[in-house]
């Protein structure tokens, strides 16, 4: 008799624990869905996402829960900034070498200098090339930064867009066996 009571007690206790966990999971799911619904109907969400991305690049994507875009934002900006600093360093080295040539004149030792094998015209052209590349990298960085802001704004707008099955558009392609050709058509469906 005691064994049966223990078994009934353990079954009841086991059921109560899992029922409580299931209730907590359901409540968490409801709260999460309510949070997503509130954000999807929030008219300020796009401007908030754009503001966050303007403050810290990628923060708007985190706000929109588009985490896969973060490596694109930071990879693009990091790569262009790397090449910006590389081109700036090369430009400074060439400029310093050219200034040294002008200052020393005929006492300039071409054999011991880094760019000694280049004549003055080539040094000037190389400076201009590195300067153009540096400026282009800065423009690319700014473009990626602006694109990051626009993407966060558009992504937040699109989260408010209704994509239910009640509204659908389906292209259809059918093969006509009589004249051996394809027929193209469209189906638009709206359910109330």
pLDDT tens-place string over residues 19-75:
455 455 566 666 566 665 566 567 788 999 999 999 999 999 999 999 999 999 999
Report the helix count and the strand count for the chain, using DSSP H and E: 5, 2
Give the phi and the psi of residue 117 in degrees, each rounded to 5. -75, -15
CA separation for the pair 18, 106 (Å, rounded): 90
Length of the chain equals 192
Q: How many CB atoms lie within 10 A of CB 63?
A: 19
Question: Residues 6 or more apart from 83 whose CB is under 8 A from it?
Answer: 133, 137
pTM: 0.64
Cβ distance 174 to 182 under 8 Å?
Answer: yes
pLDDT tens, position by position, 159-188:
877 666 565 667 777 888 888 888 877 766
pLDDT tens, position by position, 105-144:
766 666 566 777 778 889 899 999 999 999 999 999 999 9
């Amino acid at each position: 008799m005691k064994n049966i009571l223990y078994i009934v007690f353990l079954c009841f206790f086991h059921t109560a624990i899992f029922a409580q966990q299931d209730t907590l999971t359901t409540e968490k799911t409801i709260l999460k869905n309510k949070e997503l619904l509130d954000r999807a109907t929030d008219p300020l969400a796009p401007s908030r996402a754009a503001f966050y991305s303007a403050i810290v690049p990628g923060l708007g994507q985190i706000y929109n829960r588009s985490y896969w875009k973060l490596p694109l934002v930071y990879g693009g900006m990091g790569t262009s900034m790397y090449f910006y600093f590389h081109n700036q360093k090369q430009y400074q080295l060439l400029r310093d070498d050219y200034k040294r040539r002008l200052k020393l004149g005929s006492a300039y030792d071409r054999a011991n200098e880094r760019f000694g094998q280049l004549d003055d015209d080539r040094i000037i052209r190389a400076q201009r090339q590195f300067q153009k590349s540096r400026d282009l990298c800065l423009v690319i960085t700014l473009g990626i930064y602006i694109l990051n802001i626009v993407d966060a704004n558009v992504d937040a707008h699109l989260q408010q867009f209704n994509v239910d099955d009640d509204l659908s558009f389906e292209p259809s392609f059918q093969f006509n066996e009589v004249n051996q050709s394809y027929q193209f058509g469209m189906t638009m469906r709206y359910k109330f």
